[in-house]
A and B are shown apart, each in its own frame.
Chain A
Amino acid sequence: NAGVTQTPKFQVLKTGQSMTLQCAQDMNHNSMYWYRQDPGMGLRLIYYSASEGTTDKGEVPNGYNVSRLNKREFSLRLESAAPSQTSVYFCASSEGVGHRELFFGEGSRLTVL
């Protein structure tokens, strides 16, 4: 059982380039999330999708877009990467928003030069 799978695991971009982080879950979860993790700042929510067909902004959405492609897949796009977006990105899923357990992917380390 793969759980939550993120690709790519590592990426280096130049300022202004675009890229998409892919996330897929095989647990039939309704809700999916994108977080970024930065030293000393913990995890901050970028966007989430409470259910298929819906997306909402989190704490730090600027510079990002998301697509809930279907129930399994939730992608995060950087249209014009900036050095401030250098971070480790985590996708997570849960049965629903709130008190249900989050299941995380292994993370995608992005460096923007």
Chain B
Amino acid sequence: KAGVTQTPRYLIKTRGQQVTLSCSPISGHRSVSWYQQTPGQGLQFLFEYFSETQRNKGNFPGRFSGRQFSNSRSEMNVSTLELGDSALYLCASSTNREGYAFFGQGTRLTVV
């Protein structure tokens, strides 16, 4: 079956702009989570959506937001980009059945 798909794979944005990243989970998975990975802070949890509702949120400013659609696809948005937002953004989907979260290949965002 198809894995978790993230688009785009690479993005370059200018400070102050906003960006939207997309994630398509594995078919049948209703939970989608987002993580930020940076060399300094490592892998940090952003938020989780389940059946279109945000279920958990990490310790990130309000500039980071997300949503989930009825087909479980998810988007995350970062407004007013800062240089420190440059990171690999990973999406994961999961369900009780498999017993673990599946990750996409990530979107590498560079803010200049």
Do A and B interact with each other, yes or no?
no
Q: Which residues of A contact B (CB under 8 A)?
A: none
Q: Which residues of B contact A (CB under 8 A)?
A: none
